[in-house]
Amino acid sequence: MTAAGVTVTARPASGGRTAYLLTGTLNGETYAGEIARTSKAPYTHASITTLTDGRQVLGFHKTAAAAAGGNSSLRAYAAGVAVIEITPEETT
């Protein structure tokens, strides 16, 4: 699922980690499947928090509810939060 024109997908990485790939445009930069983060934590959702100055912050979360809340430290400066469901990378 995408939000705000951005898609995040999960792909297995070395050492039991997961790579989270970013596709779309964030803060004027276009990404085409670049790794946004690697982690051993099984994130299921991401959030894009738009700050009042227009910058966007990408965060990773374990639940949809946490993603909907965005980053609590940014909440006072946020104009809104878009929730993205992280889906596994398709393999053929």
pLDDT digits (tens, 9 = 90+) for 47-79: 999 898 989 999 999 999 999 888 878 878 888
pTM of the full structure: 0.86
In a domain, 72, yes or no: yes
In a domain, 76, yes or no: yes
In a domain, 80, yes or no: yes
The CA-CA-CA angle for residues 10, 46, 23, to 5°, reads: 55
Q: Which two structure tokens, joined as six digits, stand for 45?
A: 């959702």
In a domain, 92, yes or no: no
In a domain, 11, yes or no: yes
> Which segment of 9-13, 24-28, 36-40, 76-80 scores lowest on mean pLDDT?
76-80
Structural domain that includes position 80: 2-87
In a domain, 31, yes or no: yes
Complete DSSP assignment for 22-89: EEEEETTEEEEEEEEEEESS---EEEEEEETTS-EEEEEESSHHHHHH--TTTGGGEEEEEEEE-EEP
If one counts the domains in the chain, the total is 1
